[in-house]
């Protein structure tokens, strides 16, 4: 189901908050806007895609979208979503970095780990009136949230994408069938490339070896099934792993947590009016 964005030409306040309950999977076509967007879900998995990457945020994570960046958004069924539109001057054109410090950074998205404090601040800000009092307590609450957002750390739930058309087609096919068991040599031949050329192009355009890229793809694709409550064994097989133990070990090495820990969302109960 296509989701329609609010018709905004400017923000009524430095932070404009939206709360949405999305029963069915949704998508928003490619678009851009002059403000920062922070997309966060207490339930479900959010995805943002740009020309250069794919970014997934299960509960406890959020996706930071810089102003002016063309992107599309998808969500799984039963998603409780909160979006913050933030005026660029409110964050001084900066974005949270991997070290937790504010930097200018490249014009790309980042997946951020959401702390319990930020989670509650987001909830509180989404309850404010659209035209909240900037000089009173609401304005101070928003300022605290912005300060805390700048200190969030980057989480590794992103997948860089190549720009070579042959690799783009190959990656799209693997995204549709992550359990594809063909070897690098077989996949390269199907794309009209030698294994050596494909290896060189992949590393140069994504910063990852093809093996590392495919492993991350499979693990990221597994998030939707895990968050939906499917068994780890079923998700492992759907992701192309021959055993549950191999899947769990790979997941822990990639993301620093077990599959279940990565989609666990404490305090994700539905809110009144959400």
Q: Enumerate domains of the chain plus CATH numbers.
A: 15-149 (2.60.120.280), 162-263 (1.10.10.60)
Q: Do 73 and 48 contact (CB within 8 A), yes or no?
A: yes
Strand-pairing partners, residue 196, are none
pLDDT at 42 exceeding the cut of 90: no
pLDDT at 212 exceeding the cut of 70: yes
The per-residue pLDDT for 194 is 96
Query: Please, is 220 exposed, middle or buried when counting C-beta atoms within 10 Å of its C-beta (0-12, 13-18, 19+)?
Result: buried
pLDDT at 122 exceeding the cut of 80: yes
Q: What percent of the chain has pLDDT over 70?
A: 91
Sign of CA dihedral 175, 163, 155, 61: negative
The per-residue pLDDT for 237 is 93
- How far is it, in rounded angstroms, from Cα 213 to Cα 177? 14
With cut-offs at 50, 70 and 90, classify the pLDDT of residue 98: very low
The per-residue pLDDT for 95 is 56
- How far is it, in rounded angstroms, from Cα 256 to Cα 249? 10
pLDDT at 11 exceeding the cut of 80: yes
Mean pLDDT of 119-132: 95
- How far is it, in rounded angstroms, from Cα 28 to Cα 35? 17
């Amino acid at each position: 189901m296509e989701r329609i964005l609010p018709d905004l030409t400017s923000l009524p306040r430095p932070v404009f908050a939206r709360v949405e309950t999305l029963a069915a999977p949704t998508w928003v076509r490619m678009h851009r806007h002059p403000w920062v967007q922070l997309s966060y879900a207490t339930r479900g998995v959010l995805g943002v895609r740009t020309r250069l990457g794919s970014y997934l945020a299960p509960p406890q994570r959020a996706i930071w979208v810089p102003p002016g960046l063309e992107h599309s958004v998808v969500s799984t069924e039963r998603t409780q979503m909160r979006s913050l539109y933030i005026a660029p001057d409110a964050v001084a054109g900066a974005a949270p970095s991997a070290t937790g410090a504010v930097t200018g950074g490249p014009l790309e998205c980042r997946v951020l780990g959401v702390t319990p404090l930020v989670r509650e601040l987001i909830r509180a800000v989404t309850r404010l009136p659209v035209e909240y009092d900037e000089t009173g307590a609401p304005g101070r609450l928003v300022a605290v949230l912005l300060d805390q957002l700048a200190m969030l750390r980057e989480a590794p739930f992103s997948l860089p994408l190549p720009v070579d058309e042959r690799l783009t087609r190959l990656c799209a096919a693997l995204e549709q069938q992550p359990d594809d068991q063909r070897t690098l040599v077989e996949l390269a031949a199907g794309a009209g490339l030698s294994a050596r050329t494909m290896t060189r192009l992949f590393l140069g355009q994504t910063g990852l070896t093809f093996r590392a890229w495919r492993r991350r793809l499979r693990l990221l694709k597994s998030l939707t099934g895990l968050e939906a409550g499917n068994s780890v064994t079923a998700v492992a097989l759907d992701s192309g792993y021959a055993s549950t133990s191999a899947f769990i070990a790979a997941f822990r090495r990639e993301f620093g947590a077990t599959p279940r820990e990565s989609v666990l969302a404490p305090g994700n109960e539905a809110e009144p009016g959400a």
